[in-house]
A and B are shown apart, each in its own frame.
Chain A
Amino acid sequence: MDIPYTVKPRPDTGLYNAKIGIWLFLASEVMLFGALFSSYIMLRAGAEPGTWLTNQLQVPLGFINTVVLIASSVTVVYAWANLKMGNIARARFFLLVTIACGLVFLLIKSYEYYHKFSHHHYPSTDPYWALYFTLTGLHAFHVICGMVVFVYFWGPGASMWKTDPERYTNRIEVVGLFWHFVDLVWIFLFPLLYLL
């Protein structure tokens, strides 16, 4: 008993199962972050004029983090492209770079958190800080989840390359889609929280 289309695409949809699955999951993620962004809009629009905090964060740190995340997105597609060309060694190298980028992102993020806490900016301080910590916290949680999956596919999961290379390539593509989405959320978070 085998479930069809786990690796090969179904002819009439042109997609393999996991790809539909991840896009559906991302659809729900769009709604999750959509609801949070819409909360941001409501709270900011509802604030007394002039009371909304701006320019609270260190823009250079946010800028570096944006670059780091974008770079990690590129390395993921590189990893996938190398798998497509049959080069597992280079693919694993790029996965490693991706994981490293994620780590750098989280380190910078935790320094920022530490810095804010030491200046007595807590989630309870103000609606702006509540949104900042909730949004970036949830985003960081997604980064961590993505990294866990990458570590698995870089390490023990990579043995699948020997038995079923096509499926392994698909898996990297699927987790890559998730990772790009996490990057995409940050692209909106950065101006929203750091610049406006």
Chain B
Amino acid sequence: MQTTSEQSHHGDVHHEELGFIRKYIFSTDHKVIGIQYGVTAIFFFLFGFSLMLLMRWQIAYPAGTENFKPVPIVADLIEKMLHAESTSMSDGVISSDFYNTLGAMHGTIMVFLAVVPMAFGAFGNFVVPLQIGAVDMTFPKINAASYWCYFAGGIVMVVSFFLPGGAASSGWTSYTPLAVFATTGQTFWLFGMVLLITSSLLGAVNFITTIIQERAPGLTWMKLPFFVWAQFVTGFLLLLAFPPLEAAGVMQLMDRLAGTSFFMPSGLVVSEVLQEQYAGGSPLLWQHLFWFLGHPEVYVLILPAMGIVCEIVANNTRKPIFGYRSLVYAVLSLGFLSFIVWAHHMYLTGMGTVISTFFQTTTMIISIPSVIILTVLFLSLWGGSIRFNVPMLFALAFLPMFGIGGLTGLPLGLNATDIHLHDSYYVIAHFHYVVAPGTIFAMFAGVYYWFPKATGKKMSEFWGHVHFWPSLIFMNLIFMPMFIQGMAGMSRRMYDGGAFYAATDDEIGLPMSVIDLNVNITHAAIGLAIAQLPFLYNLVSSLFKGEKVGRNPWQATTLEWVAASPPPHGNFEGGAPTVYRGPYEYSVPGAKQDFTPQNEPDVK
């Protein structure tokens, strides 16, 4: 008798007995892993952002001009930490090599270490199993491995800053032959990327399997919340687009370490010396393989954001999404088409008319599903009694911001206009509108929206507003002027922010009015940095003294709100809920309240 009671006792508390390390550090629970992803990604967001602030300072107050001002506050620290003067800073002057490093690493960190882990790793991990009514991801250990690969990749990237010669400096695209001649930082970049790619692959396999296999009873494909659909397609993009970059990464490693010439052409001359050891390679090959990943990657950045916005818009307009099926088909065709548009990044490589016509056509076609999604979301606002809470504010801001970003991409997709705009600040403005006030605002919306589920506490509305309004204004003050600069012909990646090409009395060049915008943009960027402080304060303080909430603080319909806040290990106390209806049944006529959860049976 005694043994039986002991055994049952043992069984009951089995999951509570995990030590702190097993429970919070090397956890296999999808919720903990999601939060780990989120916290790490927020760190990298801030890290990538501060690299950008250094660049902006250099662009606004470039050394060697009358505008020069030394980097304030952090100059000493950076000089002491990164030892080689030539590759970092001295006397508050950012060296040109260090500027290149900042640019390359800002891009790499923001794309691969911040936005993707946040959108796919954090939100996907935390929300998807809950929304489909699963107990966990299908392969919990692989899930943990995926996080730790990401973590290791992040460490490799950060450590590379301390190498002699600094971190990678050949742009986030690592074009060859430049990248093959770069310092050791590039080798670290490649190793870091291999780890990050492995992490994404493990994650993608896990997500797709989970969505196929672990859906709750009754949750058929057309009853899935749109966010799950978005993550499903994202999973396929990561699964199929990343391996070619992995192959390319291996080949670039061979070029750097074994002296092969995969990407190194014959007759290459560097600093007036013929590089005879290289022959027969193709720099274009790298570009093809890189952009075969690169373009689907853009949709990896944006699809989860669209999913989050869709959830929040439906919830806060209190009405069903307009055209759920068209959303699903649009996201599927987006995923499909994103694999056959990649060479629109390569119009300047001298491609022929046939292939460029093909890519212009597919690029124009892919704008259709994007517009469908945006239109569906806009139309969903029509006639709703909108609740303007903080998640909704960010979601609403996403719509026009993504609209601007998307529509300004059309001229870049057409060969004739792209030849003028390519590699100018116009491009920077375009994709930042998509990713910064677009995706990142959706990430903020998601954090405010699901924070109560993760912690059982609500984030402060007041500090949310203090965060939202300045962020919105500063984002636009940063990126809107860049369109003007780009159209005036200012190239990206210039160390002096275009001062060298300034117009003089007898020479045509960039007007001073355009160059002077650099200073305004830098001020706005600093403003944006300050505007994130209320968010960080809100995040931490709400954890301790936020308003306590129940299971369903937003009166939402999807399954994650059926679980407790925060959900226990295993998510749903009484086993997986059964699903009877679609994801967005708000304000159903005749229903007793204005939302009908997916697990509520039909009333006879």
Contact = CB atoms under 8 A, between A and B. Distances in A.
A124 B277 contact: yes
Interface string B260-284: 1110000000000000010111101
A92 to B, nearest CB: 25
A58 interface: no
Main secondary structure of the interface of A (DSSP, over half): helix
Interface string B230-254: 0000000001111110111011001
Interface stretch (B116-124, B207-215, B370-378, B596-604): B207-215
Interface stretch (B97-105, B132-140, B513-521): B132-140
A123 B258 contact: yes
Interface string A70-103: 0000000000000000000000000000000000
Contact of B285 (A5, A13, A34, A39): A39
B570 interface: yes
A28 B250 contact: no
A196 interface: no
B323 interface: no
B98 to A, nearest CB: 31
B259 A35 contact: no
A122 B15 CA distance: 55
Given A2-B135, A28-B242, A39 B262 contact: yes
A102 B588 CA distance: 63
Interface string A111-133: 00000000000111011001001
A12 to B, nearest CB: 9
B213 A28 contact: no
Contacts of B109: none
Lowest 6 CB-CB distances: which A-B pairs, in order? A124-B259, A1-B570, A35-B244, A130-B260, A32-B243, A35-B247
A196 B135 CA distance: 53
Nearest to B266: A48
A49 to B, nearest CB: 13
B204 A24 contact: yes
Main secondary structure of the interface of B (DSSP, over half): helix
A24 B258 CA distance: 32
Contacts of B212: 13, 20
Interface of B: 15, 134-136, 138-140, 142, 201, 204-206, 208-209, 212-214, 239-244, 246-248, 250-251, 254, 258-262, 277, 279-282, 284-285, 288-289, 292, 569-570
Nearest to A46: B282
A21 B208 CA distance: 8
Given A17-B209, A20-B209, A24-B204, A127 B243 contact: no
Given A24-B209, A27-B239, A32-B243, A127 B280 contact: yes
A134 B260 contact: yes
22 contacts: A4-B214, A13-B212, A20-B213, A24-B204, A24-B209, A28-B205, A28-B240, A31-B241, A32-B244, A34-B243, A35-B244, A42-B284, A42-B285, A43-B280, A46-B282, A123-B258, A126-B279, A127-B280, A130-B258, A134-B250, A134-B251, A134-B254
Interface size class of A (residues with CB under 8 A): 35 or more
A68 to B, nearest CB: 25
A43 B248 CA distance: 13
A166 interface: no
Contact of A138 (B242, B244, B250, B570): B250
Contact of B260 (A3, A28, A48, A123): A123
Interface of A: 1-5, 10, 13, 15, 17, 20-21, 24-25, 27-29, 31-36, 39, 42-43, 46-48, 51, 122-124, 126-127, 130, 133-134, 138
Contacts of B289: 35, 39
A133 B140 CA distance: 36
A28 B280 contact: no
Given A1-B15, A5-B213, A39-B262, A25 B201 contact: yes
Given A20-B208, A21-B139, A39-B289, A28 B201 contact: yes
B135 A1 contact: yes
Given A35-B243, A35-B292, 6 more contacts: A1-B569, A5-B214, A27-B240, A51-B280, A127-B260, A134-B251
Given A13-B213, A138-B250, A130 B262 contact: yes
A47 B205 CA distance: 37
Contacts of B262: 39, 43, 127, 130, 134
A56 to B, nearest CB: 15
Contacts of B247: 32-33, 35-36, 39
A127 B569 CA distance: 54
A28 B243 contact: yes
Nearest to A15: B213
Given A39-B251, A127-B280, A134-B254, A32 B246 contact: yes
Nearest to B261: A127
B201 A130 contact: no
A176 to B, nearest CB: 18
B27 to A, nearest CB: 13
Contacts of A123: 254, 258-260
A27 B205 CA distance: 10
Which of A28, A32, A134 gathers the greatest number of chain B CB atoms within 10 Å? A28
